[in-house]
A and B are shown apart, each in its own frame.
Chain A
Amino acid sequence: MIELCRDVESSSANPFDVDIREKLLILKQRLPELKLLDELLVDAEAMLELSQIVKLQDEWLKTRASSLYIDPLLIQLKVKLLPKDALSEAFIKSWHPVAQLDQLSPRGLEKAFVYWRDLVPISERFKDQFGTYGTRPGQVDYSELVSLGVFTREQFETNLTNLYDELMQKSNSEWVDYREFIADDAYENKVRRAYLLAFLISEGRALLRTEPLTGKIWTMALAERVKGAPKSVAISITGEN
């Protein structure tokens, strides 16, 4: 019964297709058998849906009784026959546009000013829900790392030379996988190797090649330092291997 009512409500079917008297009799007969709360709730829902159908029947009768009712098939046919400009002309000839002024009043201007004045900056607005924002990605140069105590100048040179030797040995004039080369169990070491390798590449002691389609990155040590137009490549270093 509920499904039937809902089908009628969500389509342009004739609401008089639902026999309200018959449905009410059924509900009346079943009511004494209903004991559980769930059953009573479904019964109430059925009553609600039936009342919606009665409302639709009322509207249906009002429209049908008005002079606006015309057989839908006839309308479909007529609209099909009419060119677009004739349809719009019919509309214009029955149209009485609303006349009004759309303007900003002094009170509206004041409200806008107060809103803007009290508006919290966007960086502060969602702090309560999402907490503070993390630091944006930035750049750290060699001197900064030295000042932070991550490297001493001697250590850095030694580490750079060691990494160069390692790459030279592994690549042996062939391309090696960049990610495999910098891989390390400890994330910090991985970042350290990537940083040192970036330094070697910038100095022209190693090359870097990217394959945008596959996402592969290759590197190779050079026996002699080369000079060329420098290019920047952004590579993300994650904790995954």
Chain B
Amino acid sequence: MEAESGDRALLERKVRRAFQVLVLQRGRNPGVKGWEMKRHLGRDFRKIIEVLSEDVAPMGLEVFEVKGADETDDSSRFLLRFREPPSVSEAETSGIRIDDLAVLAATIAYVNSKQGRVARREVEQFLREKFPKWRIDYSLDRYVKRGYLEQDDRSMLHIGWRTHAEVDEKTLMTLILSRAQEAAKK
């Protein structure tokens, strides 16, 4: 009985620690790498994360894993994120510009349609039909900086780790396709 309550207390302490580790930003990018989680929580950190993810569900949050390039535990990035997308009015009141989000949505859709990599100048040309040049330059630079897009040394754009972490890309593509059909009908 005593051993059980001791285990429970240890688990609670580790879950609390996991929450603190995840919620405080370290360095420039949000989230914590797998190797760091292991250091803070021990080898069974995945179990702790599962418990934490259930615990934060009533608050509308979840722990999300973004796989690293080599798909190992150490290279994965763990983040605390909204379980459900915010409403449009919530997103608007947080100060995000509709134009900026539209640029990002169109870029993600276009890059995905081009097998995940496309020359930046090609994206710029694609977006120019809808947005002014200054807005395109500004938004693309900003999203590269914030990790939503990645730009390599050949000026090719890829989907960034933050898009993989925050955006349900399949839903986005489906919504773009279905909304466009509705718009065409009107």
Contacts and interface: CB of A to CB of B under 8 A. Distances in A.
Interface of A: 9-12, 56, 59-60, 63-64, 67-72, 74-103, 105
Contact of A79 (B81, B84, B118, B130): B130
Contact of A98 (B115, B129, B166): B166
B117 A12 contact: yes
B165 interface: yes
Interface string B74-91: 000001111111111001
A140 to B, nearest CB: 51
B4 to A, nearest CB: 32
Given A88-B105, A95-B86, A59 B117 contact: yes
A39 B130 CA distance: 49
A48 to B, nearest CB: 15
30 contacts: A9-B154, A56-B117, A60-B116, A69-B115, A75-B113, A78-B176, A81-B180, A82-B179, A82-B180, A88-B98, A88-B99, A90-B179, A91-B102, A91-B104, A91-B172, A92-B87, A93-B85, A95-B91, A95-B166, A95-B167, A96-B84, A97-B166, A98-B80, A98-B81, A98-B166, A100-B22, A100-B23, A100-B79, A101-B24, A103-B24
Interface string B154-165: 111000001001
A77 B183 CA distance: 12
A99 B82 contact: yes
A90 B172 contact: yes
A71 B79 CA distance: 32
B109 interface: yes
Q: Pick the most buried of B31, B171, B180: most chain A CB atoms within 10 A of its CB.
A: B180
B157 to A, nearest CB: 9
B118 to A, nearest CB: 4
B176 A92 contact: no
B80 A96 contact: no
Contacts of A99: 23, 61, 80-82
A69 B81 contact: no
A56 B61 CA distance: 36
A141 to B, nearest CB: 53
A72 B155 contact: no
B82 A93 contact: no
Given A75-B109, A84-B99, A88-B105, A97 B82 contact: yes
A230 to B, nearest CB: 48
A79 B88 CA distance: 19
Contacts of B85: 92-96
A96 B166 contact: yes
Contact of A93 (B62, B110, B113, B171): B171
A91 B113 contact: no
The 5 closest A-B pairs by CB, nearest first: A78-B180, A88-B101, A90-B175, A94-B171, A91-B105
A97 B81 contact: yes
Contacts of A81: 180, 183-184
Given A76-B110, A79-B130, A91-B104, A70 B177 contact: yes
Q: Pick the most buried of B101, B130, B131: most chain A CB atoms within 10 A of its CB.
A: B101
Q: Pick the most buried of A56, A80, A84, A85: most chain B CB atoms within 10 A of its CB.
A: A84
Given A60-B115, A98-B79, A92 B91 contact: yes
Contact of A96 (B64, B106, B116): B64
B110 A79 contact: yes
A13 B166 CA distance: 28
Nearest to B82: A96
A21 to B, nearest CB: 21
Given A87-B101, A90-B105, A91-B172, A96 B167 contact: yes
